[in-house]
Amino acid sequence: MKTTIRDILAKHGRLPAPVGGLSDDDDLHAAGLTSFGSVEVMMALEEAFGIEFPDRMLNRRNFSSISAIEQAVMTVQAEEAA
């Protein structure tokens, strides 16, 4: 899953630095992820994982790192499966 997230960040995140140089817990916003980039990433994640983020999960914290994104995707997957 993290590989897919990294690929999406590289393609849609518009980060000034290569995603490969970031650890799973690095702050993506400090690395240059903008609000617009977050929306692009969110939409690509929804498509890639076949999910839809509920409004309550559309916040800076859930898109703050690769690990946070992974946790958010898993949470949505679990909720949609229930």
SS3 category, 20: helix
DSSP 39-65: HHHHHHHHHHHT----GGG-STGGGSS
User: What confidence tens digit (pLDDT) does each residue in 25-52 have?
Assistant: 999 999 999 999 999 999 999 999 999 9
Predicted confidence (pLDDT) at residue 17 exceeds the cutoff of 90: no
Grade residue 69 by pLDDT with cuts at 50, 70 and 90.
Answer: very high
Q: Please give the average per-residue pLDDT across 7-32, as a whole number.
A: 96
Given a contact cutoff of 8 angstroms between Cβ atoms, the answer to whether 63 and 45 are in contact is no
Domain 2-81 class?
mainly alpha
Q: Please give the average per-residue pLDDT across 65-72, as a whole number.
A: 98
